[in-house]
Amino acid sequence: MVVDDSAVVRGLIARSLDEDPGITVVARAENGQAALIQMDHVEMDVVILDLEMPVMDGMTALPLMLARRPGVKVIIASTLTLRNARLCLETLQAGATDYVSKPDGSMAQAQDFHRQLLAKIKAIGGAAPSPQSPPSGPVRPASRPAFARTERPSVIAIGGSTGAPPVLIRLFEALRGAVDLPILVAQHMPAMFTTLLAEQLGRVGDRPCAEATDGEPIRPGRAYVAPGGWHMTAEGRGDDRVLRLNQEPPEHFCRPAVDPLFRSVARTYGAGAVAVILTGMGSDGALGCRVMAEAGGRFVVQDEATSVVWGMPGAAARTGLAEAILPIPEIGAWLKRVAA
C-alpha cells in the first residue's frame, strides 16, 4: 500500500512498482486514517508511508498500523530535511522497518529512489531476491577461526543497514560503562541521518560519539559514525591512528559502505580488530570480514531470527570465518567478554 497526501506522488510510486512482476500495489491512501481503513479490507505485506499528511500523519498512523497488522513492514518515504530525518529515526525506534528519501526532482535522484524502494520492498516483503542479494549456501560459523588470536582487542568496528539503528542503540546501551575501546560505525544512511544517529548513540551509550572528521585521532572511550555520503577508513599505527574520509565510488551502491571501513581496520589493527555485522540487505561487509579474519581479527554476525533482513550478516556468516552467529542480546555480552 502506498500512503501519501499527494495524488501525483502516489501515482508515480504505484506505477513504478507495478512495473515489477514481483510486486503488486493493492491499495493507495491519502493519509493515515484512510490507510487504516484500507488495512481492514485488503491484505498487504509492505506499506510505503509518508510522514507529513493532513488528517492523520505518518507518526500517528505507524503504531496503529503495527497494532492492526503486526506482521506488516513499513518503509518511511519522506523528503530529506533535518526535521524529517529526526522523525524517521523516531519511527525506526517505534517499529518502522526502513526509510527512503524522496527525490528532489532530478532524474538521477528519481531513479535512485525507485531502485532503493524496489530493493527494500523485495528484501523485507518476501519477494524473490534481486541479483544483489547474497548467494545461498551453507552457513558454517567457526567456534574460533584457526588464525584468530586471544589478545585483548584495540578497536570495535560495526556495520549495519536495514533494521540496524535500533540494534545499534541496544548495543551501545549494553556497552555503557563496560567497554573503553574506540567504536567505529558504518551504517547505510544519508547525511543528516548519520548526524542524528551519532547524537542518539552518544546519549544512550554515555560516551562521546559524533560523525567522524578527516584526520581525527581515534581515541579510547569514543565512538565515531561514518558521515552520510562519505566512506570512513582508519590508518596509522600505535597512538597515531586516525580516521580518513573519502568520496571514492560507492560500494554495494552505498557510501558510507562497510567493506572499506573493515578492510582499513584489518590493515591498521590486525589481530587487535573486532567486528560485528548487523541486519541489512545485500552483502556489504562480507569481504571486509574475510580480510579482517585473515589478518587475525575476529567478527560475529547477528542471527537470522533477530535480523530484519539477513542479507549482510548471512553473507558474512557464509565466509565460514565468523566466530559466532548471535541474537541481539548476546552480541553486547560477547563484546564485553572479548574486550575484557
Q: Is 50 among the catalytic positions? A: no
164, 105: one domain: no
Q: What pLDDT sits at residue 142? A: 53
**58-68 and 82-94 are packed helices; what angle lies between their axes, rounded to 10 degrees?**
20
Residue 134 within any structural domain of the chain: no
Among the listed residues 114, 188, 231, 252, the single catalytic one is 188
254, 216: one domain: yes
240: domain CATH number?
3.40.50.180
C-alpha 15/C-alpha 146 separation (Å) is 52
Confidence check: pLDDT of 339 > 80: yes
Contact 153, 182 (CB under 8 A): no
Q: What pLDDT sits at residue 239? A: 83
Q: Is 114 among the catalytic positions? A: no
163, 62: one domain: no
Residue 133 within any structural domain of the chain: no
Q: DSSP letter string over 99-128? A: EEEPP-S-HHHHHHHHHHHHHHHHHHHTPP
All three cell numbers of 227, joined, read: 558521515
Q: Which tens digit of pLDDT belongs to each residue from 40-96?
A: 999 999 999 999 999 999 999 999 999 999 999 999 999 878 888 999 999 999 999
12: domain CATH number?
3.40.50.2300
Q: Taking residues 161-166, report their average pLDDT.
A: 95
User: Average per-residue pLDDT in the chain?
Assistant: 91
Among the listed residues 4, 98, 284, 303, the single catalytic one is 284
Confidence check: pLDDT of 336 > 80: yes
The rounded percent of the chain whose pLDDT value lies above 90 is 84
Q: Taking residues 144-151, report their average pLDDT.
A: 52
Q: What pLDDT sits at residue 110? A: 86
Overall domain count for the chain: 2
Among the listed residues 161, 264, 283, 307, the single catalytic one is 161
Q: Taking residues 155-182, report their average pLDDT.
A: 96
Q: Is 206 among the catalytic positions? A: no
Residue 135 within any structural domain of the chain: no
Q: What residue numbers bound the domain in which 241 lies?
A: 155-339
Q: Which tens digit of pLDDT belongs to each residue from 271-281?
A: 999 999 999 99
Residue 289 within any structural domain of the chain: yes
Q: Which tens digit of pLDDT belongs to each residue from 243-268?
A: 999 999 999 999 999 999 999 999 99
Residue 131 within any structural domain of the chain: no
Residue 145 within any structural domain of the chain: no
* CA angle at 116 for the pair 111 and 117, rounded to the nearest 5°: 100
179, 110: one domain: no
